[in-house]
Amino acid sequence: MSFLKSFFASCLGTIVGLASLVAVGFILVAVLSNEGTVPIADDSVLHLKLEAPISELEVEDPFADIFPGAGQQSYGIIQIKEAIRYAKTDPKIKGIYLNTSFLLTGVASLQELREAILDFKESGKWVISYADFYSEGAYYLASVADKVYLYKEGEVEFNGLAIEVSFFKKLFDKLEIKPQIFRVGDFKSAVEPFMREDLSEENKLQLNSILGSIYGEMLHNISDSRKIPYEKLKEISDKMLVRSAALAVSNGLVDSLYYDDQIQDLLRSKLGLEKKKSMPLVTYKKYKKSFSLPASSKNEIAVIVADGNILPGKAQQGVVGARTIVEEFRKARNNDKVKAIVLRINSPGGVFQAGDMMWREITLATKQKPVIASMGDYAASGGYYLAMGCDTIVTRPTTITGSIGVFSVLFDLSKFLGDKIGITSEEVKTGEIGELVTVTRPLTEVEKDIWQKQTDAVYETFTSKAAEGRSMSQADLKKIASGRVWTGSQAKDNGLADVLGGLDDAVRIAAQKAGVSGDYKLRYYPRPKPFLERLMGDWEDNTKVKALQTELGEYYPWYQQWDKVKTYQGVQARMGVEFRVK
């Protein structure tokens, strides 16, 4: 009997293994069959239904296409703009149907998309937007359309911007966790959630200034598109006068109210189709596979994308890995075919040393060819550290930048470990100074003095290099530093940036400086990993996440918060507040 059990168990294992291989084979066949261009019918409409997070550079996830709902659904703003740009001259595309209720991205990214759609409209083709509900960000994008339609019982959120900051001091007090904080700059607010229960006056000042600047830019753009005076839009927003679909129409934010089937009939009418005819809508995912941009020029402009938190090591989605970016800059500056480099930054900062490693390679590249910085939603603190090494800094008016300051945090968990969960420890050392990075005991006064002096020294390094990069004295630079956050418009006015514009403007400036205007191809770096490497990496990561979720259950979100807090250990050049439109 024991033999039969072993035999059948072995057979079952073999069958499962073969089934797994067959499944992987089917996936590979499906992926390979999706390669190549996809034909598009005449009189088609590009359907931009943006309902996933928007990052800088899209990472292809085959599982998202093969198994709807699986994988990591996301969009890359660079690829979306390429699709819109191609659709502008594509005779098969008659217009764009914009259909989105929520947008998970920043205002600067929305401005990039608005300008791409404005450029599309110059072809004479139409753009129609429709949604059941418009969030503040979704309406900002939708307002650029020729016509903005809303579901008959829908809503438009149009009541301004708000920032809510969470504070952890009371939680730390209850858990007997003591943050040991060292910072330079009255406006360096990233550590306030650990040491305060509310906003400091300095933080309130900068947040109010930033919100006012960003929302003012948004209202001016909406005013231009909708032909509504700025003052009226401000009143509608401040008093939240639009509280229903009917009020959205009467106040001019929306053109008409329709059910979905009526919108479909309207689109058919614009295309001259009968009611029963199926709508020739082409999704963005499908359309981007229908074309390939020409790349015949021998001259290359390398666009190196730094998107996410700055950390040492390799880059991955959401992480600007110093080792990867250094390697990409080194290859680009030593490649004779690369005539200029554009550094696209969308980062709130991170580990100081990682930022400094990349800054070094950026400055070396500027000695050989033009290097232009293009700021996305964020280029703050460590993100600005990267930009300041470039020849020219191009920023969106609504970009969050500056935050030139540093801080260091170490968490003393000795009370939590000893009193809450019963773990004690003792240190043996050869000298007066013990472990400078430790969570098992409080720092001594001598060690605290060392940490503060190290933090002060890093601030001096940051401001001296920023002053050199911006061709101003360190004393003048410090007047606009101190950890204060600025919008792109404010940064342009105070000398932290050079030009207001987007990625296309940065590319144009790079081409001009390199003397290759009109004769260049764009290449984006870091290049995506091969499919199988991503497949195995994603599988491993997902397995780890699912195991943690199963083990921790309802406490998993708290683990995620703590995992994020852990990255604050040591010297940081990081902005503390994330800005996203609702």
Question: Residue 567's pLDDT is what?
Answer: 57
Question: Residue 216's pLDDT is what?
Answer: 96
Identify the band that residue 163 occupies on the pLDDT scale cut at 50, 70 and 90.
confident
CATH code of the domain in which 53 resides: 3.90.226.10
- Is 150 part of any domain? yes
Find the helix packing angle between 352-366 and 322-334, rounded to 10°: 0
Q: Whole domain around residue 556: which residue ranges?
A: 529-569
Residue range 555-564: mean pLDDT, rounded:
55
- Is 108 part of any domain? yes
Question: Residue 191's pLDDT is what?
Answer: 87
Where is average pLDDT lowest: 277-291, 349-363, 490-504? 277-291
Active site residue 381: yes
- Is 144 part of any domain? yes
Residue range 456-472: mean pLDDT, rounded:
96
- Is 422 part of any domain? no
Picking from 499, 513, 530, the residue whose alpha carbon sits closest to that of residue 387 is 499
- Is 314 part of any domain? no
User: Is residue 494 helix, strand or coil?
Assistant: helix
Q: How does pLDDT run across 185-203, given as a tens digit for each residue?
A: 788 788 899 999 999 998 9
CA distance 44 to 95: 8
Q: Among all chains, which residue has been given the structure tokens 């016509």?
A: 147
State yes or no: pLDDT of 116 exceeds 90.
yes
- Is 94 part of any domain? yes
Query: How many C-beta neighbours within 10 Å does residue 524 have?
Result: 18
- In the chain, the percentage of residues whose pLDDT exceeds 70 is 81
- Specify the higher pLDDT residue, 381 or 71: 381
- In the chain, the percentage of residues whose pLDDT exceeds 90 is 65
State yes or no: pLDDT of 32 exceeds 50.
no
Where is average pLDDT lowest: 72-76, 223-227, 264-268, 397-401? 72-76
Question: Residue 518's pLDDT is what?
Answer: 86
User: Which of residues 226, 256, 287 is at a domain's end?
Assistant: 287
Picking from 514, 474, 488, 302, the residue whose alpha carbon sits closest to that of residue 393 is 488
Q: Which one of the listed residues 381, 403, 408, 414 is annotated catalytic?
A: 381
CA quadruple 206, 211, 213, 217: dihedral, nearest 10? 160
Residues paired with 16 in a beta bridge:
none
Q: How does pLDDT run across 267-300, given as a tens digit for each residue?
A: 999 998 887 778 889 999 899 888 877 667 899 9
- Specify the higher pLDDT residue, 334 or 279: 334
Separation of CA 528 from chain center? 17
Structurally, how many domains does the chain consist of? Answer: 2
User: Which of residues 270, 287, 304 is at a domain's end?
Assistant: 287
Question: Residue 546's pLDDT is what?
Answer: 57
Question: Residue 492's pLDDT is what?
Answer: 97
User: Which of residues 287, 311, 346 is at a domain's end?
Assistant: 287
> For 486, what's the count of Cα atoms within 13 Å in the CB-facing half-sphere?
23
At 288, the amino acid letter reads K
Question: Residue 539's pLDDT is what?
Answer: 47
Active site residue 5: no
Question: Residue 431's pLDDT is what?
Answer: 86
pLDDT averaged over every residue in the chain: 86
Q: How does pLDDT run across 5-18, given as a tens digit for each residue?
A: 454 455 555 554 45
Question: Residue 549's pLDDT is what?
Answer: 61
On the 0-12 / 13-18 / 19+ scale of CB atoms within 10 A, 45 is buried
- Specify the higher pLDDT residue, 491 or 294: 491
Q: Give the strand pairing for 281-283 and 499-500.
A: unpaired
- Specify the higher pLDDT residue, 532 or 516: 516
Give one DSSP letter per residue of 202-253, joined into a string.
HHHHHHHHHHHHHHHHHHHHHHHHHT--HHHHHHHHHTT---SHHHHHHTTS
User: Is residue 126 helix, strand or coil?
Assistant: strand
Q: Which one of the listed residues 81, 188, 369, 465 is annotated catalytic?
A: 188
CA distance 370 to 326: 17
Where is average pLDDT lowest: 133-137, 280-284, 572-576? 572-576
- Is 168 part of any domain? no
Q: How does pLDDT run across 222-260, given as a tens digit for each residue?
A: 999 999 999 999 999 999 999 999 999 999 999 999 999
Where is average pLDDT lowest: 123-132, 261-270, 466-475, 543-552? 543-552
State yes or no: pLDDT of 20 exceeds 70.
no
- Is 449 part of any domain? no
Are 390 and 373 in contact by the 8 Å Cβ rule? The answer is: yes
Identify the band that residue 544 occupies on the pLDDT scale cut at 50, 70 and 90.
low
Question: Residue 408's pLDDT is what?
Answer: 87
Residue range 404-417: mean pLDDT, rounded:
90
Give one DSSP letter per residue of 260-318, joined into a string.
HHHHHHHHHHHHT--TTSPP-EEEHHHHTTS-------S-EEEEEEEESEEESS--BTT
